[in-house]
Amino acid sequence: MSAVPTPAAEGAPRSAPLLRVSDLQVHFPIKRGLFFDRTVGHVRAVDGVSLAIDRGSTYGLVGESGCGKSTLGRAVLRLVEPTAGRVDFDGTDVASLSGESLRKMRRRMQMVFQDPMGSLDPRQDVESLLTEPLRAHGLGGGRKELADRVGQLLDAVGLPAAARRRYPHEFSGGQRQRIGIARAVALEPDLLIADEPVSALDVSVQAQVLNLLEELQERLDLTYLVIAHDLAVVRHISDVVGVMYLGSLVEQAPADALYDEPLHPYTRALMSAVPVPDPVVEQRRERILLAGDLPSPADPPSGCRFHTRCPWRQETRCDDEVPVLRELGAGHWVSCHWAEEIRDGVLAPKSAEEVAATQGVSVRAGAGALAETDALVQGVDQPIERT
Ligand SMILES: Nc1ncnc2c1ncn2[C@@H]1O[C@H](COP(=O)(O)OP(=O)(O)OP(=O)(O)O)[C@@H](O)[C@H]1O
Ligand code: SF4
Ligand SMILES: [Mg+2]
């Protein structure tokens, strides 16, 4: 595909991150009242996230349902207005843009959604779905050019040329996601935000779609923010992984470092649920169980937000002092007061029952959280087959 001339040439130097998110907050008001809406509180969906994504790299963002991953992605695209903080794309503060400059910037940032059926208009055939974004931006030229472009896009995502006359319901889930990806790359963006791009697909199809994303990244020089529940998905395609808990990043590291030595208790709990292929090691594997459910983002716990469920919670600092993200290894950031002591085995974890008793929650309540945790880690360390 030919490169669309973009403001990139005049933007930040190539070595600078393509995307920089600084202390981003998105708080949704909670309204009540019969006649007049009163704001009675706020859901702190994203509460002070900072991250940077280098050009051509992939940032994997994981976390439990409701921790704010999608809201972060939407705020980057300015589909929701941030409450505070800043998003810089290619050296430009996205909030400073409006009108035509915002439209141009949006063209360079595209989104792939979890449910391609929901994001594709069932009444349009594939040709119309793929040419729509081009026409909306006044690109693609005449009928012949548009038809050629559709052919190129179908080829790029591994669909036959005959697919152009068919409708979304005539495709399988994996094929529909290919159409969603073709639509997202039609405008030759720089950044692709893929929000749970494979979680609705069978495992075998997931691998194919992930391979496609990797191939396209190389061919089109794309930068990715991949949001997922499944750590396996994130592990194999990410350069850097960030773990979110209740609106904040609790750990961020190069993918290998994070999987080799998770430092935050939450990440460690997630990792401990990962089945190990070696049966001897698997038998000795110790699960770190989490007590209690995910607290409400409308009323997050004081101090360290994880303290209500943390097996390593200490009497001092954890309940009343917010831990900051600190760099413990090269590019390995963690927000825990006791990360060194936990890493070095100086502090021992409590059982889920003990944590539950301290917090006055039942262990049964923890079972829900554990089911979620299991889903989150399912399949990690089982290499995704490349097809
Ligand atoms: N438009 C909105 N208005 C009010 N609250 C919202 C809105 N969008 C999201 N939220 C709330 O913000 C929090 C974060 O939601 P978000 O969808 O970002 O989480 P998520 O990590 O993507 O979860 P999932 O894995 O289930 O997709 C949730 O508590 C959600 O209910
Ligand atoms: S700061 Fe305390 S509660 Fe929070 S993760 Fe670390 S040990 Fe656990
Ligand atoms: Mg989401």
Going by alpha carbons, the residue nearest to atom 6 of ligand 2 is 336
- 349 CA to middle of ligand 2, Å? 11
Ligand 2 pocket mutation pick from 250, 267, 310 by most atoms within 8 angstroms of CB: 310
Instruction: Determine which residue's CA is closest to atom 1 belonging to ligand 2.
Output: 336
Give the position, in ligand 1's atom list, of the atom nearest the Cα of 29: 4
Q: What angle do CA 252, 258, 259 make, to 5 degrees?
A: 150
Confidence of residue 59 (pLDDT cuts 50, 70, 90): very high
Q: Is the CB of 44 within 6 Å of ligand 1?
A: no
Which position has the token pair 């089109």? 220
Q: Report pLDDT for 284.
A: 75
Mean pLDDT of 255-275: 88
Our answer on whether the CB atom of 158 is closer than 6 Å to any ligand 1 atom is no
Give the residue whose CA is nearest to atom 3 of ligand 1: 28
Of 266, 314, 326, 333, which is best to mutate to test ligand 2, by the most ligand atoms within 8 angstroms of its C-beta? 314
Tell me the sheet residues that pair with 93.
Answer: 88
Q: Is the pLDDT of residue 107 over 50?
A: yes
Q: Scan for tokens 């917090």, then name that residue.
A: 359
- 307 CA from centroid of ligand 2 (Å): 6
Contact 375 CB / ligand 1 (< 6 Å): no
What was the pLDDT predicted at 293? 82
- The pLDDT, as a whole number, for residue 248 is 97
Atom of ligand 1 nearest to the CA of 28: 4
Residue 65 CB less than 6 A away from ligand 1: yes
Q: Which of 173-182, 200-209, 271-280 has the lowest mean pLDDT?
A: 271-280
Please give the domain boundaries of the chain with CATH numbers for all domains: 7-31+41-245 (3.40.50.300), 262-377 (no CATH)
Q: Whose CA is nearest to atom 5 of ligand 2?
A: 336
| Sheet of strand 248-254, all strands in order from the earlier edge strand to the far edge | 109-112, 191-195, 223-228, 58-62, 240-245, 248-254, 332-334, 326-329
Counting ligands in written order, which one lies closest to the CA of residue 229? 1
**Ligand nearest to C-alpha 49:** 1
Amino acid at 118: G
Whether pLDDT at 270 is above 90: no
* Coil, helix or strand at residue 195: strand
What whole-number distance in Å separates Cα of residue 104 and Cα of residue 60? Answer: 26
* Two tokens, residue 321: 């002092």
State pTM to two decimals.
Answer: 0.89
The predicted structure's pLDDT at residue 14: 62
Q: What DSSP string runs through 197-256?
A: TTTTS-HHHHHHHHHHHHHHHHHHT-EEEEEES-HHHHHHH-SEEEEEETTEEEEEEEHH
Q: Give the pLDDT confidence score for residue 292 in this predicted structure.
A: 80
Q: How many other CB atoms are found less than 10 A from the CB of residue 152?
A: 14
CA of 27 to the centre of ligand 1 (A): 10
Tens-digit pLDDT profile for residues 330-386: 999 999 999 999 999 999 998 888 888 887 775 543 333 343 444 344 333 333 333
| 10, pLDDT greater than 50 | no
% the chain with pLDDT above 70: 89
Q: At what angle do helices 173-185 and 126-136 cross, to 10 degrees?
A: 20
